[in-house]
Amino acid sequence: MRYISTRATGTPPSEPKRFCEILLEGLAPDGGLYLPETYPQVDSATLSRWRGLPYADLAFEILSLFVDDIPADDLRALCRKTYTEEVFGTAAIVPLTRLEDGLYLQALSNGPTLAFKDMAMQLLGNLFEYELARRGEELNIFGATSGDTGSAAEYAMRGKKGVRVFMTSPDGRMSPFQQAQMFSLLDDNIYNIAITGVFDDCQDLVKAVSGDLDFKRKYKIGTVNSINWARLMAQVVYYFAGYLQSTKTNDERVSFTVPSGNFGNVCAGHVARMMGLPIAQLVVATNENDVLDEFFRTGVYRVRGTADTHETSSPSMDISKASNFERFVFDLLGRDGARTADLFGSQVPRQGRFDLGADPAFAQAASRYGFASGKSTHQDRLATIRQTWEKYGVVVDTHTADGLKVAQEHRQTGVPMLVLETALPIKFAATIVEALGREPERPAKFAGIEALPKKVSVMAPDVQAIKNLIAQACD
Ligand SMILES: *Cc1c(COP(=O)(O)O)cnc(C)c1O
C-alpha cells in the first residue's frame, strides 16, 4: 500500500509513500492530504469472517490492509494494547444502543476523555511511541485546542517515550470540566499552556512556530491534527464494527449520521464505503456552522471568516472550513490532483470559495457516494435532547443531538440508521441543564476532578516566549 497526495499530478503520481513515512507528517509537501493510492476491497466472505471478532482484532484486520511496513505481530499487539475494555469501558468498545426499531446510537465516547477523538488518538499514541523508538527519534507535538482534540492528544501521549506535548488553549475559555481534564495531567511530558487570548491566537502561535523551519527541524515539532491519515484510518474501523453489530447478513445495508466539523469522522465513513462496506447513506450533520451542509445542498464550498463563524453549544463543530474535505473532493473529481490543487490551493485561498454546482460530478456526491446532509441549531439541539430523554430515557450530548435531529430527516424504511455518539453529555453540562433542568450523569472516574491539582502555565501570545519554553523543556 502506497500513499499519494490529493494534489499529486502525473500518472503515476510522483513519489508515493509508505505508511510509516506519513505517520508523523501533516500535510504533504505540495499542500495536499495523503490518501491511499487505491482503496483496499473487502469482499463478502471477508466481512463474514470478521463477524464476531473482538474490536482490537477487527482493527488489526482493517489496519493490515493499509499498513505494510509494521510487522503483523507488532501491529496486532499495538491494536490489542489500544482497544481494551479497561480504557474504553466495555468489551464491545463501540456498543450500540437501540432507541427504537431502525434507530441506533453508536457509542464512540467512552474513552479516557469522553469524546470520539480518543478512538483514533489512543492508537496514534501507541503508533508514535512504536515508530519513534524504532527510529531512535523524538517528537514534540505542538498544538492548539479549544477542547476535545487537545485533551484526547494529551491522554493518548501521556507517559509515552520519545513524545512531549505542548498544548495551547485560550485561557479561561474551555468548560471547567475540560480545563480540569487537561490541566490535572501531571505527567512530565505534558505541557499545558493557557494563552491570554482567543483560540485564533493559539492557532497563530502554532503557525508561527511551525513556520520557522529551522526551529521546527531542530526541535522536531509535529502535530496531531485531524488531517493525519493514521487518525482517519483508525476511525474506519468503527464503521465496520457498527455495521457488523447491527446486521446479521451482508445483504443488509445501514446508514450512518455523523455530527461533523472538519469532515474527519465522516471521511472515514466514506473510506469504509469505498472499501465495499454496505453503507446506504452517509448523512453529514452540522450545527449553525453549516459549511458542509451548504456544499451538499448546493455544490458551493464557502469558507467562513472569523466574524461568520458562530460560537455554538456544540462547540467541537464550530469550524470555518472543513480541513479533511479535500480528500472527498479528490475522489469526487475522479482523483484529479491538478483540479483538486486548483480548487483548494488556488480558488479557496484567493476567493474563499468554489462552486461545483454545475459540474456533473456534484450529482454523484449523493447518487454514487451516498452523501446527504442537514443542519441543526441551538433550539433544535435543546428540543432533541428533551425528546430523546422523554421518549427513550437517554441523555445525549449536544453534538450527538445535532446528529439525531438530522438523522430523523433522512431515515429510509428498511435501512437501520446509526447515529454516531461523539461525546458524553457531562462534557457540555450547561446545555444539558438548559434542556433538561438538571446536571448530566458524571462517570465515577471523573468525580471531583475540578478540585485536583493543576499543571498549567499562563502566557501571553508571544512566539519567542513559547519557543523558549519548548527549547528549555528539550534541554
Ligand atoms: C471533533 C468533534 C466533532 C467533529 O468531528 P470532525 O471529525 O471534525 O467532523 C463532533 N463532535 C465532537 C464531540 C467532537 O469532539
Q: pLDDT tens, 423-448?
A: 999 999 999 999 999 999 998 888 99
Q: Residue 399 CA: which ligand 1 atom is closest?
A: 11
Alpha-carbon gap, residue 235 to 63, rounded angstroms:
10
> In this structure, are residues 209 and 27 in contact, taking their beta carbons and an 8 Å threshold?
no
- The answer to whether residue 189 scores a pLDDT higher than 80 is yes
CA 316–ligand 1 middle distance (angstroms): 5
What pLDDT is attached to residue 223?
84
Residue 107, C-alpha cell as written in the block: 457509542
Taking the centre of ligand 1 as the mean of its atom positions, its distance from the CA of residue 284, in whole angstroms, is: 11
Least confident of 26-40, 280-294, 327-341: 26-40
β-pairing verdict for 221-222 and 139-144: parallel
| Strand arrangement, sheet containing 279-286 | 96-100, 103-107, 417-421, 254-259, 279-286, 371-375
Atom in ligand 1 nearest the alpha carbon of residue 397: 13
By the 10 Å C-beta count (0-12 exposed, 13-18 middle, 19+ buried), 158 is classed as middle
The atom of ligand 1 lying closest to the CA of 235 is 7
Residue 475: pLDDT band (50, 70, 90) is confident
* Confidence at residue 242, expressed as pLDDT on a 0 to 100 scale: 98
289 CA → ligand 1 middle, Å: 13
Residue 123 has pLDDT above 70, yes or no: yes
N-terminal to C-terminal alpha carbon distance within the chain = 38
- Mean pLDDT, rounded, for 74-91: 97
CB burial string 304-320: b at 16+ within 10 A, e below: beeeebeebbbbbbbbb
pLDDT at 168 over 70: yes
What residues flank ligand 1, with Cβ below 6 Å?
Answer: 115, 117, 148, 226, 259-265, 316-317, 399, 422-423
The ligand 1 atom at the shortest distance from the C-alpha of residue 117 is: 15
Residue pLDDT, tens place only, 4-61: 999 998 766 667 899 999 998 888 889 999 999 999 999 999 999 999 999 999 999 9
For residues 220-227, give the mean pLDDT.
Answer: 86
Contact call for residues 156 and 191 (beta carbons, < 8 A): no
Q: Do the domain assignments include residue 396?
A: yes
Q: Flag whether 350 is in a domain.
A: yes
- The parent domain of residue 272 ranges over 93-114+229-436
Q: Is the pLDDT of residue 468 over 80?
A: yes
Supply the residue whose CA is at minimum distance from atom 8 of ligand 1: 262
Cα–Cα distance measured from residue 252 to residue 42, given in angstroms and rounded to the nearest whole number: 15
Coil vs helix vs strand at 156? helix
Domain-embedded: residue 20: no
Is 26 a domain residue?
Answer: no
Q: How far apart are CA 439 and CA 447, in angstroms?
A: 13
Span 274-278, average pLDDT: 98
Average pLDDT of 132-141?
Answer: 96
Q: Quick check: is 151 in a domain? A: no
The H or E element spanning position 434 is helix 429-436
Q: Which protein residue has the closest C-alpha to ligand 1 atom 2?
A: 316
The verdict on residue 357 lying in a domain is yes
Domains in the chain, number: 1
pLDDT of residue 61: 98
**C-alpha 212 – ligand 1 centre gap (Å):** 29
Mutate to test the pocket of ligand 1, among 108, 116, 327, 428 (most ligand atoms within 8 A of CB): 116
Average pLDDT over residues 128-154: 93
Q: Is 117 a known active-site residue?
A: yes
Answer whether residue 283 is part of any domain.
Answer: yes
Average pLDDT, integer, range 224-246: 95
Omega of the bond leading into 12 within 30 degrees of 0 (cis): yes
Spatial separation of the C-alpha atoms in residues 365 and 346, rounded to whole Å: 22
Which residue among the candidates 81, 117, 454, 455 is catalytic per the annotation? 117
What is the reported pLDDT for 12? Answer: 63
- The CATH number covering residue 301 comes to 3.40.50.1100
Per-residue CA distances from 406 to 31, 285, 444, 473 (Å)? 33, 6, 31, 46
Q: Is residue 363 part of a domain?
A: yes
**pLDDT, averaged across the chain:** 95
CA of 475 to the centre of ligand 1 (A): 36
* Extended beta strands in 66-128, E state: 96-100, 103-107
- Mean pLDDT for 213-217 is 91
